[in-house]
Amino acid sequence: MRGGYRESITAALLASAMISLHTGPAFAANRWGADYFPNVPLTTQDGATVRLYDDLLKGRSVAINVMYTSCKDECPLETARLAQLQRLLGERMGKDIFFYSITIDPKRDTPKVLKAYAEKYGVGPGWLFLTGNEEDIKLATKKLGLSRVRDSASKDGHSASLMVGNEPAGLWMRNSAVDNPQFLATTIANFLGWKNEAPRKSYAEARPLVLDKGEYFFQSQCSVCHSIGQGDKMGPDLAGVTARRDRAWLARYIMMPDKLLAEGDPIAIALFEKYQYARMPNLRLSSDEVAAVLSYVEGRGDARGR
Partner 1 sequence: MFLPSKASKLRIKEAENARRNRQEIVKALADGQITRRDLFKWGLFTTGGLLLWKHGLNPFVRSAYASVPTGFPRSPLFGVQAFTQPMPRFDVLPRNAIATLNPAPTAQANQTQQVLNPALEGVTPGDTGPIEGRPPGPIWAHQEFTRFPPVIAVPVSTEGAKVNTVYDPGVPSSLNSGINAATPFPPRFHPNLPDQGPLALWTFNGTLPPKLLVGRYGEGIIFRHSNKLPFDIRQNGGFGIHTLSTHEHNGHHGAENDGFTGAFFYPGQFYDYHYPIVLAGWRSINTGATDARAGSPNGSGGITKVPGDWKETMSTHWFHDHMFSFTAQNVYKGDAGMFNIYSALDRGNEAINDGVNLRLPSGTAKDFGNLDYDVNLMLADKAWDANGQLHFDIFDTESGFVADVMTVNLVYRPFFEVERRKYRFRILNGAVSRFFKISLSDASPMIQIANDGNLLPSPVVITQTDELGIAERYDIVIDFSRYSIGQTVSMVNLLQHEDGKLPSSTLSLSQALSGSSSDPCVGKFLEFRIVRDPAQPDVSQVPATLIPNPDLSAIPVARTRTFKFGDGANQTTNDPVTSFRGPWGIGTDGGDKLDADFGRISAAPRFGTREIWNLVNDGGGWDHPVHIHFEEGQILNRGEGNVPATERGRKDVYRLRPSGSVTITMQFRDFGGMFMEHCHNTLHEDNAMLLRWEIDDGGSPFLRPLPTPIPTPQGVRFQAPTQLNNI
Angle at which helix 181-191 crosses helix 75-89, to 10 degrees, equals: 60
In angstroms, give the least distance from the CB of 158 to partner 1: 6
In angstroms, give the least distance from the CB of 130 to partner 1: 14
- The residue among 12 and 269 lying less far from partner 1, judged by its C-beta, is 12
In angstroms, give the least distance from the CB of 163 to partner 1: 8
In angstroms, give the least distance from the CB of 182 to partner 1: 6
Please give the full DSSP string across 42-110, using - where no structure is assigned: EEETTS-EEEIIIIIITT-EEEEEEE-TT-SSSHHHHHHHHHHHHHHHGGGBTTTBEEEEEES-TTT--
Which residues, other chains included, contact 50 with Cβ-Cβ below 8 Å and sequence gap of 6+? 41, 42, 43, 44, 56, 128, 130
- The residue among 110 and 176 lying less far from partner 1, judged by its C-beta, is 176
Q: Compute the radius of gyration of the chain from its Cα atoms.
A: 24
Cβ(55)–Cβ(94) under 8 Å? no
Report the distance separating Cα 77 and Cα 181, nearest Å: 11
Distances (CA, A) of 106 to 132, 144, 151, 248, 294: 6, 17, 13, 39, 38
- The residue among 38 and 267 lying less far from partner 1, judged by its C-beta, is 38
- The residue among 144 and 297 lying less far from partner 1, judged by its C-beta, is 144
In angstroms, give the least distance from the CB of 106 to partner 1: 14
- The residue among 73 and 250 lying less far from partner 1, judged by its C-beta, is 73
Angle at which helix 247-255 crosses helix 287-305, to 10 degrees, equals: 130
In angstroms, give the least distance from the CB of 179 to partner 1: 6
- The residue among 205 and 273 lying less far from partner 1, judged by its C-beta, is 205
Cα end-to-end distance, the chain, whole Å: 90
Other Cβ atoms closer than 10 A to 278: 18
In angstroms, give the least distance from the CB of 67 to partner 1: 10
- The residue among 41 and 305 lying less far from partner 1, judged by its C-beta, is 41
In angstroms, give the least distance from the CB of 270 to partner 1: 25
Strands 98-103, 61-67: pairing kind: parallel
- The residue among 5 and 273 lying less far from partner 1, judged by its C-beta, is 5
